Amino acid sequence: MSTALWLLAIQGVLGALDTLYYHEWRARLPAGVPGTRPELLLHAARDFLYALLFGSLPWVAWRGAWAGVLALVIATEIVITLADFVVEDRVRQPLGGVFPGERCMHTVMAILYGAVLAHLAPVLLAAWELPTGLVMEPAPVSQALRVGLSLMAVGVLCSGVRDFYAALQLPGGHWPWHLAVPAGPETSAPSGARQG
């Protein structure tokens, strides 16, 4: 479990960099670029699942049937990520496509997530054999790592709320970016976005 949590922490750092640099700064997805709503909704759903993983795994043992629930959460996250790979290619066309560095970042994160799962799967299989329950049992890692993952849970939850709010195009959801103008022959991508 220790290795899985350290890898998850690295995944969290890379995910934060990806979100802040590529999704927010370069693509400015919350700015209301026409068509970005599906990608924002996928990001929000995935962020909520990551918040659950980051917030629970360092502190709670998922046992018995709950181990199955956790496996379902992980499987759902994988399906959402695969859907995001397809959707972002379509959604980002007005922005000139997915940035090459972002594509590389996503590939590294997918490989890293596979490593997390390789270390987490044996833990889940062993937990499946135990009596069903969610047991407060801090993982055998440093307190600093547990707290760090908990802070990541809060951060990714906030990111998910932001993406969901922006996807609904509620007031101020585009902040701090200027609201994008609906696409037309004379419009361009938002300031800072790559031209195609």
Q: What is the pLDDT of residues 118-147, one digit of tens each?
A: 999 999 999 999 999 999 999 999 999 999
- Residue 58 inside a domain? The answer is yes
- Residue 192 inside a domain? The answer is no
Q: How many domains, the chain?
A: 1
- Residue 89 inside a domain? The answer is yes
Find the range with the poorest average confidence among 34-43, 106-115, 126-135: 34-43
pLDDT classification of 178: cutoffs 50, 70, 90: confident
Spatial contact of 64 and 127, defined as CB atoms under 8 Å apart: yes
- Residue 17 inside a domain? The answer is yes
Shortest CA distance to 63 belongs to which of 133, 138, 140?
133
Question: What pTM did the predictor assign?
Answer: 0.86
Spatial contact of 194 and 99, defined as CB atoms under 8 Å apart: yes
- Extract the runs of DSSP E, i.e. beta strands, from the chain: 60-63, 133-136
For the chain, give the mean pLDDT.
90
- Residue 190 inside a domain? The answer is no
- Residue 98 inside a domain? The answer is yes
- Residue 86 inside a domain? The answer is yes
- Residue 176 inside a domain? The answer is no
Range of the domain at 85: 2-167
Q: What are phi and psi of 40, to 5 degrees?
A: -60, -40
